[in-house]
Copies of this chain bind each other. A is one copy, B any other.
Amino acid sequence: MRIKIINPNTTESMTKNIQSAGEKYASSNTEIIAVSPSTGPASIESYFDEYLAVPGVMEEILKGDHTENVDAYVIACFGDPGLYAAREITDKPVVGIAEAAITISKFIAPNFSIVSVLDRSRKMSEEVVKMHGAEGRCKSIRSTGLSVLEFDRDLKKGLNALSNTSKKAVEEDGAESILLGCAGFVSFVEDLQKELGVPVLDGVSPAVKLAEILVNMRCQTSKHLTWGFPEKKEIKGFNSITKFFKEEIK
């Protein structure tokens, strides 16, 4: 099967790490394609960034359905940007990485803390936790104060910051598992888990595995109402998106 991971930001070095993380536990007969959209910001740290990233995500999904024979999609940014819109335009499974990490943690720990990037992103993590109904299990959302791109530039410094922040979550907040709140953290999972003694999860590997079993069980998105295909209508601009359904939206 073919799983397309869309890194919603346009920083290619991060996309490469995401490709590796996606392949880490993938089944031998699963092909992983990680891409960045052609438009959007270099990193996603504000609502504004998120809204400029999503049209590119839509384009990648439509392309995947119409020309790439993709079986399932992963949106690889911890805010799960555009997740419900993606589920409207395809009936193939779409999995967000925050959703995946939150989902998998539930089977192995009674609660979690999220360790994330900038202070301002905490509000967005709060919202993704609510979106997935996990308020009752979230012990805390802590931020390292480093930006997404600072992590990308200095892995060592990043690992230190993550490690210190995660320890506080375990010791002061009572976290019994740690979720890494940024797709840029995928390289740190194993080192952190060894150090902390509690399960540490990035979202990319779990999202790939969840996508695999959704395909295995032949699950398709319910088109009954909320996530039905969008109504046909005139759209100004966004030609790289609208070209895919000019005549054919189901």
Contacts and interface: CB of A to CB of B under 8 A. Distances in A.
A206 B107 CA distance: 13
A63 to B, nearest CB: 15
Band of interface residues on A: 35 or more
B224 A48 contact: no
B237 A38 contact: yes
Nearest to A100: B107
A225 B176 contact: yes
A164 interface: no
B104 A214 contact: yes
A201 to B, nearest CB: 8
Interface stretch (A80-88, A154-162, A179-187): A80-88
18 contacts: A10-B234, A25-B216, A39-B237, A41-B235, A46-B230, A46-B231, A47-B85, A51-B58, A56-B236, A94-B107, A99-B107, A103-B103, A104-B219, A108-B220, A110-B227, A120-B228, A176-B224, A199-B220
